[in-house]
Amino acid sequence: MTYRTTIIAALLSATAITGSAFAADPIKIGVVTPLSGTYAGIGQQVRWGLDLAAKEVNAAGGIMGRPVELTYEDEEANPAVAVQKADKLFQVNKVDFLTGTVNSGSTLAVGQVAERAGKLIATTVSFADSITADKCSPNVFRVNARAGQQSSALAVWLSKEKPQAKVFYLGPDYEMGRSTVAAFKSSAEKVGANSTGEVFAPLDSKDYTQYFGQLRSARPQVLYTSVAGNDTVRLFTQLQEFGLLNNLTVVGASGTVTAQNLPAIGKAAEGFVTGVGYSAEIATPENKKFVDAFKAAYKTDPDLYGADSYGLIYAYKAAVEKAQSTDTDKVRAAFADLKWQTPQGEKTLRAGDHQAVQTMYVVRVNGGKFTIVGEVKGEDAIGPDTCTRF
């Protein structure tokens, strides 16, 4: 009898022990990202970056001993869909944290969902300045460089290479496009460039040739564009087809030409210049290690989206370990002025507006590859904190 009870007790305690070791609930991170549509290629990089970081973190014992679990939903680059999917992840899947939104409109909309649900989100992709400026939210963080950071880096390059240039602007007609064009226009005009006109084309435009009339009559030396994804492929090849690339320097947002659409654009991308927060060419041992691991897993180079998404998991890990909790208020406090290591070096999450401060690079497409042609310090590119909500 006693023998039996001892065995049962032993068995029970054994299950209790193994139970606690395995039953460490996973930390659930929801990912609402475009897996279809014009931004599907961007969503793919986001997914790869997050998956790789989660795999590494889990192999090294997780976050506070708890494994990271990622749950994906397709936002179709559509804010209305993103809101539904985010609601589902918060209410049904009970995720602790949410990321992945690409479309800036989606990030703003999902930020409001997060406020209602009392959870935190971070974007690793969206460019629109407003997300961490006039439309900032205490529940929204951005770990990638925003439009303002990209354009101030690019404007520095422009003033050196093409002083007093006549610039024409072409952006996609939504939050990100208008914000990137406005940001670059003000940075460029500050360093002496002349604006000769601007046009906003709907997202997913099939034919940009209908805007070439306006472009041609403005006779610019420099074209700034912030279209992204498949839209860039069409814009650039159509520019080339119509012979408009001769004597025209094309510059643009970080997301305009990336490793994902560069092969499809081909020669038309030659000479394109952008200000960017990440390049696979960054020559540091940390980045080399990251690029090698990424290439081994997915047979392609990481782009800024992949790298920034990868870095986010480590930011969240650092914040949760600092807070010793996944509680919203505690993690928010831990994120304030958090410094953490990413493939592109150390980043700081500015407490005042939840925007990451980081070194910015100017890169140019040469022979079908990006090469770094300039570098701007994080503090010089970040710009003032204009968030007044918290």
Partner 1 sequence: MTAAIEYFQFVLAPQILVGLVLGVAVILVALGLTIIFGLLDVINMSHGEFYALGAFVALALASLGLPFWLLLILVPLVMLPVGYVVERGLIQRVFHGGERHVTTLLLTFGLGLVMEDGFRLVFGPNPYKPEVPISGAIDIFGVFLPLYRLFLILGGAVVVAAVALVVYRTRLGAMVRAAAFDRNMAASLGVPVQHVYAGAFAFGVALAGLAGVMLAPIYSVFPTMGRDFILMAFTVVIVGGMGSIAGVVVAGLLLTQVQAISSLYISPVWSDPIVFGIMVVMLMVRPQGLFGRLGHG
Per CB under 8 A, residues contacting partner 1 are 35-38, 40-41, 43-44, 173, 199-202, 204-207, 209-214, 216-217, 230, 233-234, 237-238, 241-243, 260-261, 263-266
Give whichever of 205 and 328 is closer to partner 1, judged by the CB atom: 205
Give whichever of 208 and 361 is closer to partner 1, judged by the CB atom: 208
What is the closest distance, in whole angstroms, from the C-beta atom of residue 256 to partner 1 in the complex? 14
Q: Rounded to 5, what percent of the chain is helix, strand, coil?
A: 45, 20, 35
What is the closest distance, in whole angstroms, from the C-beta atom of residue 181 to partner 1 in the complex? 14
Distance CA 44, CA 102 (A): 11
Give whichever of 116 and 216 is closer to partner 1, judged by the CB atom: 216
CA angle 195, 197, 203 (to 5 degrees): 120
Give whichever of 212 and 271 is closer to partner 1, judged by the CB atom: 212
Find out whether 258 and 303 touch, Cβ atoms under 8 Å: yes
Distance CA 390, CA 381 (A): 22
Find out whether 252 and 337 touch, Cβ atoms under 8 Å: no
Annotate 45-68 with b (16+ C-beta within 10 A) or e (fewer). bbbbbbbbbbeebeeeebbeebbb
From the CA atom positions of the chain, what is the Rg in Å? 23
What is the closest distance, in whole angstroms, from the C-beta atom of residue 105 to partner 1 in the complex? 15
What is the closest distance, in whole angstroms, from the C-beta atom of residue 251 to partner 1 in the complex? 21
Q: What is the largest CA-CA distance in the chain?
A: 98
What is the closest distance, in whole angstroms, from the C-beta atom of residue 182 to partner 1 in the complex? 16
Question: Can you tell me whether residue 317 is helix, strand or coil?
Answer: helix
What is the closest distance, in whole angstroms, from the C-beta atom of residue 73 to partner 1 in the complex? 16
Give whichever of 148 and 306 is closer to partner 1, judged by the CB atom: 306
What is the closest distance, in whole angstroms, from the C-beta atom of residue 47 to partner 1 in the complex? 11
Question: Can you tell me whether residue 354 is helix, strand or coil?
Answer: coil
Distance CA 281, CA 111 (A): 33
Give whichever of 262 and 331 is closer to partner 1, judged by the CB atom: 262
Give whichever of 45 and 152 is closer to partner 1, judged by the CB atom: 45
Distance CA 106, CA 383 (A): 24
Distance linking the first and last C-alpha atoms of the chain = 65
